Amino acid sequence: MPDGTLSHYDAAGEARMVDVSGKAETKRVAKAHAFVRASRAALDKLPENPKGNPLEVARIAGVMAAKRTAELIPLCHSLPLSHADVAVTVEADGIRIVTTASTTAQTGVEMEALTAASVAALTVYDMLKALDKRIEIQDVYLLEKTGGKSGDFRR
């Protein structure tokens, strides 16, 4: 908030869901990022994974997570997503995940994009943990967001 107060607390300091009923519906898009660092040996075995294709399972898990964000984050608004996407790319030292969520609503979709990135990363971890005990989930952050009263943001 511009005055330094936190929007999710009332005057008594108790947590509350923000009332967005007075806000205009606008198109809102958010992109988020996560990186799953894994050994080269584990990455080389991706095609042989007995649990199935970890990248495809992570992609679907991320989309499902975006749709269920309000069930996971207590004060998030339930949003009608018009689109959710999860892109996974294998790199030399891990798997990069970039998610997108969009809606036309009274509040933003940053949490949906971040939840998608986090759950997709956790899914990769789950499907590769037998191959590499040192997997790390790193760099979960918002890449950009557009729409809404606070304007656009790009990292």
Residue 116 Cα to chain centre, angstroms: 3
Catalytic residue among 126, 132, 139, 152: 126
* Packed helices 54-67 and 110-128: angle between N→C axes, nearest 10 degrees: 150
Active site residue 3: no
CA distance 81 to 105: 9
d(CA 61, CA 53): 12
Alpha-carbon separation of residue 17 from 46, 49, 109, 139 (angstroms): 42, 42, 15, 27
**Active-site annotation, residues:** 126
